[in-house]
Amino acid sequence: MSIEWITLLIFGSMVFVMFMGLPVAFATGVVGIIFTAIFQGPEAVAIVPTRIFGLMTNYLLDAIPLFILMANILERSGIIEDIYMMVYHWLGWLKGGVATATIAACTMMAAMAGVVGATEVTMGLIALPQMLNRKYDKLMALGVILAGGTLGILIPPSVMLIVYGMVDNTSIGQLYAGAFLPGFLLSGLYIIYVTIRCYINPQMGPPVPKEERLDWKGLFKVALPIIPGSILIFLVLGTIVIGIAAPTEAAGVGCLGAWIIGVLKGKMAWKDLVQAAVNTIKATGMVMWTMFGANVFIALYIMVGGGDFVNTMLVGTGLNKWVVMWIMMGILIFLGCFVDWVGIIMLSVPLFGPIIRQLGFDPIWFGVLVAVNLQMSFLTPPFGMSLFYLKSVAPPEVSTVDVWKSAAPFLGLQFIGLVMCMYIPDIILWAPTYFFRS
């Protein structure tokens, strides 16, 4: 059988099984095992435990549950609420100030915990009622929470970048350094967009009334809670970027720091710690099983010649390297509508990684570019996870259609950010060059 028909058969089978309702983790795993036995012989199925065991013993994987645990602890420690109230009081006097404060709080939270769900849910419970009660445009209020929450998967300590670095065998420290500026660039684009729209039409985001604004003494008082958060950011990110600690070690320190903050604030009872651990186990299980299943699937595809086929199809045709790059970006955007980010990375990076090196692109630049791209997957219907996170905590008057419509302009901003990072590579490469390559 030709590789073209094999490609159509195994990928078509995977899509069919997924649409039957089986999760990505098991759809890829089941298809991988069955077709390994068909194409390589029953004895070749022995590679399955070998591939899985190879992942399980990877030291870098320890950082994933630790960062997820840190996020869950921070969610219960009250620090997200403190950060939001600080930027709310400092920026609320602006037109659209509460929306701007929401984006700023999401950005700060992203720099403490590299996951999306905790930020989306917490800000949906705290910031969304504030904006709706102040007569903010409903779609604007929903959109800023959706877009701000997705920054957690890009701004370090991003769990996505750990998985990418492990799959592509690239430096996680350099990926983290490269993701800083793109993350803050996107945050800035969101804030500029909100500010311009609210100054053009003040009814979309009225400022906080004067009688509710704090004096300078009150403003500095509400800013005090940011101090422990800033220390935590340095303990996690600073130690990685300047080379003191590996991501796994920094994640462990971050968990301890988050727990201490919660204890000092009096919001970290034993039951809260247990619930944080339970939620961590569930989230980690989802990530790990998806990695295991996709790893088996892509190992089969490469064994039957899929890697060479994709390489020939993209590079061997003689297309301009930027055309090839846009084809890969388009594939990632399309997959993001239907597959979670773990599955996308595990399926695409082993195929795309060798191609971008052959074309002469920087692998660190491409890795961060993938993370910028996959941010969009959290907002693209029908399976954008941020859409479900926010709808689950939104008031009854907020419909699913409202949530979907609110994401549209911010998807456009994310695409603009992607294009800027593609054609101005120094947005990504400046920090890795300064810290690691100088």
Domain count, the chain: 1
CA 431/CA 270 separation, integer angstroms: 40
Cβ-count burial 112-137 (b if 16+ within 10 Å, e if not): bbbbbbbbbbbbbebbbebbbebebb
Range of the domain at 353: 3-437
CA 376/CA 378 separation, integer angstroms: 5
Q: In the prediction, which pLDDT does 219 show?
A: 81
CA 89/CA 210 separation, integer angstroms: 11
Residues in the chain: 438
**Which contacts qualify for 164-169: CB closer than 8 Å, 24 or more apart?**
164/345, 164/349, 164/367, 164/370, 164/371, 165/60, 165/367, 166/58, 166/60, 166/61, 167/345, 167/346, 167/349, 167/350, 167/353, 168/349, 168/353, 168/363, 168/367
Q: In the prediction, which pLDDT does 437 show?
A: 64
CA 125/CA 141 separation, integer angstroms: 12
Tens-of-pLDDT digits for all 438 residues of the chain? 778 888 888 888 888 888 887 787 788 888 888 888 888 777 777 777 877 777 777 777 788 888 888 888 887 777 777 888 888 888 878 888 888 988 988 888 888 776 777 778 888 888 888 888 888 889 999 999 999 989 988 988 888 898 899 889 898 889 988 999 999 999 999 999 999 999 899 888 888 887 777 777 778 888 787 788 788 888 787 777 777 777 888 888 888 888 888 888 777 778 888 888 898 888 888 888 888 888 888 888 888 888 787 888 877 777 889 999 999 999 999 888 888 888 889 888 988 999 999 999 999 999 999 999 999 988 888 778 888 888 888 888 888 889 999 999 999 999 999 999 999 999 999 988 888 765
8 Å CB contact between 314 and 328:
yes
Count H helices and E strands in the chain, helices first: 22, 0
Q: In the prediction, which pLDDT does 184 show?
A: 93
Q: Identify the H or E element spanning 71.
A: helix 63-77
Q: In the prediction, which pLDDT does 114 show?
A: 67
Query: Which residues are within 8 A (CB) of 13 and not within 5 positions of it... i.e. 6 or more apart?
Result: 31, 34, 35
Q: Which residues on neighbouring strands pair with residue 243, listed in sequence order?
A: none
CA 111/CA 12 separation, integer angstroms: 39
Q: In the prediction, which pLDDT does 181 show?
A: 93
Q: In the prediction, which pLDDT does 438 show?
A: 57
8 Å CB contact between 95 and 205:
yes
CA 165/CA 370 separation, integer angstroms: 11
Report helix, strand and coil shares of the chain as percent, to nearest 5: 80, 0, 20
CA 259/CA 42 separation, integer angstroms: 49
Q: In the prediction, which pLDDT does 142 show?
A: 92
Q: In the prediction, which pLDDT does 166 show?
A: 87
Q: In the prediction, which pLDDT does 415 show?
A: 95
Q: Is the pTM of this model over 0.85?
A: yes
Q: Which residues on neighbouring strands pair with residue 114, listed in sequence order?
A: 158
First to last CA, the chain: 50
